[in-house]
A = this chain, B = another copy of it.
């Protein structure tokens, strides 16, 4: 069994572009928690945004903050109420633990819990850290065949599962996905895994479109060459993963009557929409905010090979070089960078 040290190294954001390696006490798991030695942590656009700007909307980094909310690892200790058999399990971590008492939690929409404690969201620390403690039911065992990186990327895959649930994706569905970053590519892969007939991916970056094709998109689209409408497509659901107003405005007109519009990418506070189309076609427009009850499905999709997570990882850094993964010029050339808090090994 692993010997657990008293202190650990963490990567702390003090101010925009000011990241420091520090020493912190290793947390003691509460009765319903597990202590996890972190293996891999995916770097997300929101981590990059906090690093650059020190805030995302109303969430402001006023105090030093540990980033990272896509972690995997191994359970090394358990709280009093958790079976000790869990020690040693390789796990993927769902990084937000809700209050479990409010009406949103009780109706199953725990992602909307106003008191959720979510990694790397001020003032809650994240996982760029050698160890983290988390509620035991939010640490999910993964099969041996799944890599640590893939176990970490169950988090963005969950975003893809959730978006497809909102989109009503089913066997035979036709989708438009705008934005071929990690989330868009995962939305597309999940749609295919759910039996979608057509998944058209739109982006302005030819490399990302090539990757989309390679991972299963049935068609790709550069909106500078032809808008979705000009491409002649009609879809049952449109999932925006770009957050760009023009992408949303040009995507909506190709959704069939009664279809779905799901806004995953975050843009500004307001957006101007072709609302009479939404009305006369009775489109259902919604957004996604994290996810709920997605981990088991996401793990199954990755374990079965229905979704390819490892191909999305284009770089690794250790904790000391986490900052490299956050600097925009470094991040831009990657699909997904993974931080390894306990070493690259």
Query: A: which residues have CB within 8 A of B?
Result: 32, 57, 100-112, 114, 135-137, 161, 164-166, 170-172, 190, 193-195, 197-198, 257-258, 263, 266-276, 278-289, 292-293, 296-301, 303-304, 306
Contact = CB atoms under 8 A, between A and B. Distances in A.
27 contacts: A100-B105, A101-B136, A106-B108, A106-B137, A107-B108, A107-B258, A109-B257, A111-B282, A112-B281, A161-B171, A170-B194, A171-B194, A171-B300, A172-B297, A172-B299, A172-B301, A190-B195, A193-B195, A198-B300, A267-B276, A270-B272, A270-B274, A272-B273, A273-B275, A280-B289, A281-B287, A283-B287
A114 B256 CA distance: 11
Contacts of A279: 263, 266, 286-289
Given A172-B300, A195-B297, A284-B285, 16 more contacts: A100-B101, A100-B105, A103-B293, A104-B257, A106-B292, A109-B257, A111-B282, A112-B257, A161-B171, A171-B297, A190-B195, A266-B279, A269-B275, A272-B272, A275-B287, A284-B286
B287 A280 contact: yes
Nearest to A263: B279
Contacts of A286: 278-279, 282-285
